[in-house]
Amino acid sequence: MAQSFDTRYPSVDDLREKARKRIPRFAFEYLDGGCNEDVNIRRNTSEIRDIQLKPIYIKDFKGASIKTTLFGQEYDAPFGVAPVGLQGLMWPNSPEILAKAANKHNVPFILSTVTTMDIERASELTEGKAWFQLYNPAEDAVRNDILDRAAAAGCPVLVLLCDVPTFGYRPRDFKNGLALPPKMTMANILQILGKPNWALQTLRHGIPTFETLRPYTPEGLNLKQLGKFMDKTFSGRLNEERIKPIRDKWKGKLVLKGVASEEDTEQAIRLGFDGIIVSNHGGRQLDAGESTIAPLTRIAAKYKDQITVMMDSGMRSGPDMARSLARGAEFTFMGRSFMYGAAAMGKKGGDHTMTILKVQLQQILDQLCCENIHDLHKHLI
């Protein structure tokens, strides 16, 4: 077993439980929760796990490799770190922890516009390999400057988010003061006092802020003013008119994240995207929507020859990845899983989580007698 494997936490579920005990409740519920009644967050995982794979034992099996190539870059595993907002709130310095681990394990790390590390630092930690996810600014000048910074940092892939036209209705975040505008409640303060390690780490690394957006944010804003500024500065709604200038300006690979329909897939192909990430934002936006694996199955079958089809939302293990890859995903991303690792284990958490996911996926391929991830579809039942 790899040196970075801690046998106390052999699964993402174990890491989740440790994270729950280690960080304030408001931070854990922001990470862990979905929207409305949490129907779709549960559906995401349960429908993936309905998929069954058959082993084929009597064959000339030469061993399995989980390596794959995506956009001309070879990666050591078919998974990456999905973009997550406000990471430093959940565990201080977690974006750096995960970026370093992704670089060590040779898997992609996607930086969110609204997380707590800036583009330049992400590029430095990943040797210019970090992807960047853009929340499209309302002002063209801000958008163009962010794109210029991403290009100057050597970012190879720009991910454009399409599935946040509104803020998701998240009851726990309202109760905890984490909706926009945010507020600090007495309950939150008491929770912080009950998690001294988290509090000390936060003091050490500083109050989390939207680092990439710092140049565009007026100084001296209180929490309420910051919420209003964010609401005014960013508009999640996309249309052809808003996408075209980005496609024209960005010279690297362009990916549309949040696709959940054939209609949006066809638009992505027509508008010149290189790939899509089929996703429902981890079940945080539309509780009445489909699980991610349902549209992924249809989209991959119909459009895989025209555009690179990737997936996130709902996967928590190597078997989950194998099932999703078998259904047609060419690559997978996870957000919560890696954040559970960072919150549970601090600076060792990213490395450990990536290690267990690699070990789990390798075991699945070896057990199925499947030599590479591209053949997993042959094992579908």
As a whole number of angstroms, the distance between CA 317 and CA 265 comes to 27
Query: What is the β-pairing status of strands 332-334 and 79-81?
Result: parallel
Residue 268 makes CB contacts below 8 A (sequence gap 6+) with 256, 259, 276, 307
Q: Which residues make beta-bridge pairs with 325?
A: none
Chain-centroid distance, C-alpha 307: 20
Tokens 């808003």 correspond to what residue?
242
C-alpha 355/C-alpha 176 separation (Å) is 33
State the catalytic residue, choosing from 281, 352, 374, 379: 281
User: Within 10 A of 10 (CB to CB), how many other CB atoms are there?
Assistant: 15
Asked if 281 is an active-site residue, the reply is yes
Q: Beta strand pairing status for 110-112 and 79-81?
A: unpaired
Instruction: To the nearest 10°, report the CA torsion of 274, 277, 281, 282.
Output: -160
DSSP SS3 for 51: coil
Task: Give the Cα separation of 92 and 279 in Å (integer).
Answer: 26
State the first-to-last Cα distance of the chain, in angstroms, to the nearest integer.
30
Which residues are identified as catalytic?
281
